[in-house]
Amino acid sequence: MNYQSDNKGYYGTFGGAFIPEMMYQNINQLQNCYLEIIESSTFKQEFRQLLEDYAGRPSPLYYSDRLSEHYNTHIYLKREDLNHTGSHKINNTIGQILLAKRLGKTRIIAETGAGQHGVATATVCARAGLECIVYMGEVDVARQSPNVEKMKMLGAEVRSVQSGSKTLKDATNEAIRDWINNPVDTHYIIGSVVGPHPYPDMVARFQSVISEEIRVQLKAKTGRETPDYVIACVGGGSNAAGAFYHFLNDPDVKLIAVEAAGKGVASGESAATTQLGRPGVLHGSRSLLMQTADGQVIEPYSISAGLDYPGIGPMHANLFITKRAQFLSATDDEALKAALYLSQKEGIIPALESAHALAALEMIEFKPDEIIVVNISGRGDKDMETYLKYYQSLK
Amino acid sequence: MENRIISLFQRKDKNILSVYFTAGYPNLNDTQAIISQLELNGADLIEIGMPFSDPVADGLVIQQSSEIALKNGMTIHLLFQQLKEIRKSVSIPLILMGYLNPVMQYGIENFCKQCSETGIDGTIIPDLPLEIYEAEYKVYFEKNSLSNIFLITPQTPEERIRKIDACSKGFIYMVSSSSTTGAKESVGNEQIIYFERIQKMELNSKRLIGFGISDMASFERASNYANGAIIGSAFITALSGEPSLERNVLTFMQKFQ
């Protein structure tokens, strides 16, 4: 089975480019040239060099003695939290800024939830000398303020979005509106494997360096290129797309995607799209979508701003429907508990998003000889306020 | 049955005034009254907006009217109920305009059938691109004599405009500038250059210009280069507030007499 998109951007029945005519020129241009550009040797060389010298790749694959002991198996942590800017998001923004430069664009826009993609975009824009505007929901501006300050220091303008639930979905709407109003000079750096074709495929390709490295690192450490499990959190799904990418056609590798259950899947305050959603169209592609019977998008909820999104990328919708990946969900509490556990057992404070992936370790029965890779997509600096509150509540 | 959009353009070639409003705004059950008042006061064509939670092609005014309409309880089901008797009193062409997802959830085939039974003449679905429409949806629209209207913008290349022209039944919706709805309130020289460029292409389809048409001056300016123009955000702004819906529609439409 092929789990990649076809040339029109479809993963099975999901994907495509459902865009208003106002976006046609930009999307059509990207569709026609993205592969040629990103597969060219000069692009690849520049991209690789920056990943290495600027972002600090390869990120380590770290064997966690204490988690392995606790769960009686072999657990490796893919340390995307150690990248420059603190998450996997930099992999994609480095790729897209190089693309934008080649397209002659001078102005960059982005949406952000947790602020990690916003910071990663502001970072590459500073380096490239391009104007940068980041849309961020008002709720997220408040709960991820360290990242807002970072973006400002990097020279970006952060526009607080007041519409809807004032989170990631609404920031994405506003970024799309900006692009409609500024079609000539602007490139939109989408931060996840969502949006119209070619974004899901393009972002997945830029993030695929994660699984490419895992294969090499695992081989060096264990003699095996493939683990038994790869576990990653899914909001839109970019870190999971990157962590799964080079294992999609290895059926023995179990792919575990962990969604945010919020206060519980049935609580009415959740972001577990595969459990709560149906096929629908939002932000330019057909995917699974949390919506009412009338097709209005339901406002999701998660304590983690990066997972607080009512859809998932079309690639993941297809992995869910075809059962290639298993989808689990972790509640706010389970994620907080997992974050605290990793902090105190391994001295690594993970991002709240990544903590959802860690929470899945509690949900699976591993065998002692199995190899598990958990993608630690980001570090927890931005979440300290939330963590402190939680920690104090335990006292 | 003859499509009312096509007969409108056969009857009237200039200064066609099309008005958009969001169904369910300002109040849930204003739909019929707004349509009747618009016809009474000289609208040639009405675009009835089906509200969506995430209207990415719309500016603030239509975003807010959509949000209120949804809070009021508007759905496509309810809208069809409200419009059930509309053809007993209203004879101008009616178009339903909205985003793809609610229509998809209603069921495309059923939606087209309901449109036909209700006396709806056309649809505008901005996030349903031409290619996907032609490949997957056209059959249902044509079976029910619905004109699905396509947009062009200042960015649309000539070759694509020709393609859209060939696929259009009814009219082409010319978006006046590269923007979301209600972003500009006038028609400037940059737009005029674009209008002239399109005029010179001598397309087969009729053309209405929308986005940024807010008053008689912008309406007349745009109408010089097309068969007429479309007003949306400005009308919605005028609808809210005192004294009454009827007076508000009347006062607004008098500006275009």
Q: Where are the domains of chain B?
A: 14-254
pLDDT, residue B184, reads: 77
Name the residue of chain A whose CA is nearest to B69's CA: A296
pLDDT digits (tens, 9 = 90+) for B22-78: 999 999 999 999 999 999 999 999 999 999 999 999 999 999 999 999 999 999 999
Which CATH superfamily hosts domain B14-254? Aldolase class I (3.20.20.70)
* Residues near A219 by beta carbon (within 8 Å), at least 6 away in sequence: A225
Instruction: Please give the ipTM for the structure prediction.
Output: 0.96
Could you give the residue numbers annotated as active site of A?
89, 111, 377
Provide residues of A within 8 Å CB-CB of chain B: 16-22, 24-25, 163-164, 169, 173, 176-177, 180-184, 278, 280-284, 289, 291, 293-297
Q: Phi/psi at B209 (nearest 5 deg)?
A: -105, 130
pLDDT by 10s per residue, chain A, length 395: 789 999 999 999 999 999 999 999 999 999 999 999 999 999 999 999 999 999 999 999 999 999 999 999 999 999 999 999 999 999 999 999 999 999 999 999 999 998 999 999 999 999 999 999 999 999 999 988 899 999 999 999 999 999 888 989 999 999 999 999 999 999 999 999 999 999 999 999 999 999 999 999 999 999 999 999 999 999 999 999 999 999 999 999 999 999 999 999 999 999 999 999 999 999 999 999 999 999 999 999 999 999 999 999 999 999 999 999 999 999 999 999 999 999 999 999 999 999 999 999 999 999 999 999 999 999 999 999 999 999 899 88
pTM for the full model? Answer: 0.97
| Through-space distance between the first and last CA atoms of chain A, rounded to whole angstroms | 51
pLDDT, residue A296, reads: 98
Name the residue of chain A whose CA is nearest to B77's CA: A294
pLDDT, residue B257, reads: 83
Provide residues of B within 8 Å CB-CB of chain A: 52-59, 63, 67, 70, 75-77, 99-106, 126-130, 132, 150-153, 155-157, 160, 175, 178-180, 183
What b/e readout covers B25-50, taking b as 16+ CB neighbours within 10 angstroms?
A: bbebebbeebbebbbebebbbbbbbb
pLDDT, residue B49, reads: 98
Instruction: Quickly state the pLDDT bin for B1 (edges 50, 70, 90).
Output: low
pLDDT, residue B159, reads: 97
Asked whether the beta carbons of residue B59 and residue A177 sit closer than 8 angstroms, the reply is: yes
* Nearest residue, CB atoms, A20 vs list B57, B63, B76: B57
pLDDT, residue B182, reads: 86
Asked whether the beta carbons of residue B101 and residue A295 sit closer than 8 angstroms, the reply is: yes
Distance of residue B251 Cα from the nearest chain A Cα, in angstroms = 30
Asked whether the beta carbons of residue B127 and residue A18 sit closer than 8 angstroms, the reply is: yes
| Through-space distance between the first and last CA atoms of chain B, rounded to whole angstroms | 31
Contacting residues of B for A278, CB less than 8 Å apart = 105
* Cα distance between residue B47 and residue B181, in whole Å: 14
Distance of residue A135 Cα from the nearest chain B Cα, in angstroms = 14
Contacting residues of B for A182, CB less than 8 Å apart = 178
Q: Tell me how many residue pairs between chain A and chain B have CB atoms under 8 A apart.
A: 108
Determine how many CB atoms are found less than 10 A away from the CB of residue A72: 11
Contacting residues of A for B163, CB less than 8 Å apart = none
> Is A376 in contact with A350 (CB distance < 8 Å)?
yes
pLDDT, residue A92, reads: 98
Determine how many CB atoms are found less than 10 A away from the CB of residue B251: 12
* Cα distance between residue A31 and residue B190, in whole Å: 28
Asked whether the beta carbons of residue A180 and residue B179 sit closer than 8 angstroms, the reply is: yes
Asked whether the beta carbons of residue B57 and residue A280 sit closer than 8 angstroms, the reply is: no
On the question of pLDDT at B243 being above 70, the answer is yes
